[in-house]
Structures are given as C-alpha cells and as structure tokens.
Amino acid sequence: MALPPTALRRATTGGAGETSLRQQAYDRIEDLLNWGRLRPGQIISQRELVELTGGTLGSVREAIPRFEAEGLLQTLPQRGIMVPSLDVSFVREAYQMRRLIELGMVPDLCERLDRATVTGWIRWHEAAQDRLTDESAGDQAEFLRDFQLFDWDMHGQMVEAMDNKLISNVYRVTAIKIRMAAQSRVRVTRQNATRVIREHLDFLRPLLEGRAEAVTAALSFHINQSLTLALGGSVRG
C-alpha cells in the first residue's frame, strides 16, 4: 500500500544512502503515525503493521523497540502493539519540548538561517494566501495536504539550521507526537490554513530582518494556538 512521504527531514537515520529494511519499516510506521492512520489508543498486531507498511515481519519487529524507546509505541504482552493515548500529559509534554527547542533556537536562527530560504518561505505563504482566497480554485483538498507537508518541512528545516543532530532527533520525535494529536483533533480546513499562514508570516517577516524578540513573540503565540487546539480547545481565526 502506497504511503505519503514524510516531509520532515531525518537527520539521524544513517545518511542519505540508508536502505536497510529496518529503516524502511521505521519510516513507514512513522508515516502512519504522522498521518493518523495509527490512532492514539489503537492496538495493532505486528502482522497488521506488516500489511500496512509493506515491509517484512522481521524488519517491523526490529523497528518496534526504537518506537518504544521514543515513547511512540508500547508492546502489550499477548495483545499486540498499542499507540499511546492522547492524555493531557502526553500533549503538554510534547508541546513543552517543542517550545524549548523552537523558541530557544531563535537567536541563533536569526544568524544562521539563509535569508534566501526565508524569503522563499514568505513568498510561498503569500502565494498560498492568494490560492486560499481564490473562490474559483475549486477543491482545495490537495493543496491543503501540500500545505501541511510544507508546514512540517519548514519547521523541521528551522531546527536543522542549528546543525545539531541531538536536537534534530529529539525534535523529530516530538513532532511525531504533536502530529498524532493534531491528526486526531484538528481538521485541516481553508480557515485553519489561512490562520496558520498568517501566524507563520508574523514570525517569518521579522526573522528575515533578524529581529529575534519579534520572532520569539510571534512563534510563541503560534505554538500556543496549536497547543490549545491539540487539547480540544478553540482559537480565534
């Protein structure tokens, strides 16, 4: 069964030439978690994972301990593999880690991140705004999916600009947990995408100018909005 590519770059998978069956199984299970095809609280057998990933039983078995160590799966003897439930602690801890990483990197990010990259992100968002307000554009489902991928990849590239593999890997696992919450509780709509684009531009524009305090304030607001939605609340559009 074909699976969508994971947008967030993987900094610790052994390099671009990594082709092991275990790594392939890991990547495909990660995609299932990212896109909500493995649901919080769900119990699934190893053989069902094999069917979903198209991998081998051996490679899936080898990948599972890594997910367990990362807090993304749990083995239940005689029952199967369980996806963690989205209790308040699970969500809050994931977002607390996200805040520590993303806000903590802002001063260095203003110095390290290539300005041409930031300019390209801003232009992409401005074009996306036009696309979402174009009533003649018709069905936006495919574009909204592309936007979600772009969102994941942009935040991942911001973290990777720190060139710290430890931070990148912690963030990758944190991002999976956050997506698990988002896929369960937040529906990606034109209205939501419009709000997120506005919030992104609010920190991208000062990032281009190197204004760290403004970036931190806008990025903090963006993360708080996301956390509120992940906890089942509502935010202003």
Say which CATH number the domain at 47 has. 1.10.10.10
Q: State whether 60 and 159 are in the same domain.
A: no
Whether the per-residue pLDDT at 90 is higher than 70: the answer is: yes
Q: State whether 44 and 105 are in the same domain.
A: no
Q: State which of 30, 62, 82 marks the end of a domain.
A: 82
* Model pLDDT for residues 143-182, shown as the tens digit of each residue: 888 999 999 999 999 999 999 999 999 999 999 999 998 8
Tokens 């609010």 identify what position?
A: 202
- Is 8 domain-assigned? no
Which pairs count as long-range contacts for 161-167, CB under 8 Å and 24+ apart, including other chains? 161/105, 161/109, 161/112, 161/113, 162/105, 162/108, 162/109, 162/112, 163/112, 165/11, 165/12, 167/101, 167/105
Buried b (16+ CB within 10 A) or exposed e, 69-87: ebebbeeeeeebbbbbebe
Whether the per-residue pLDDT at 6 is higher than 50: the answer is: no
Q: Give the domain extent around 45.
A: 21-82
Q: Which two tokens stand for residue 107?
A: 């001063």
Whether the per-residue pLDDT at 25 is higher than 60: the answer is: yes
Collapsed DSSP state (helix, strand, coil) of residue 9: coil
* Predicted local confidence at residue 19, as pLDDT: 54
Q: State whether 175 and 100 are in the same domain.
A: yes
- Is 11 domain-assigned? no
Q: State whether 137 and 223 are in the same domain.
A: yes
Mean pLDDT of the 187-212 span: 93
Q: Which two tokens stand for residue 158?
A: 């911001």
Q: Would you say 12 and 52 are in contact if contact means Cβ atoms under 8 Å apart?
A: no
Q: State which of 82, 102, 130 marks the end of a domain.
A: 82
The conformation of residue 7, written as its DSSP 8-state character, comes to: -
- Model confidence, pTM: 0.85
Domain count, the chain: 2
Q: State whether 32 and 49 are in the same domain.
A: yes
Q: State whether 49 and 116 are in the same domain.
A: no
Q: State whether 170 and 92 are in the same domain.
A: yes
Whether the per-residue pLDDT at 4 is higher than 60: the answer is: no
* CB neighbour class for 169 (10 Å; exposed up to 12, middle 13-18, buried from 19): middle
Q: State whether 134 and 218 are in the same domain.
A: yes
Q: State which of 65, 82, 99 marks the end of a domain.
A: 82
Q: State whether 136 and 77 are in the same domain.
A: no
Whether the per-residue pLDDT at 15 is higher than 60: the answer is: no
Q: State whether 140 and 194 are in the same domain.
A: yes
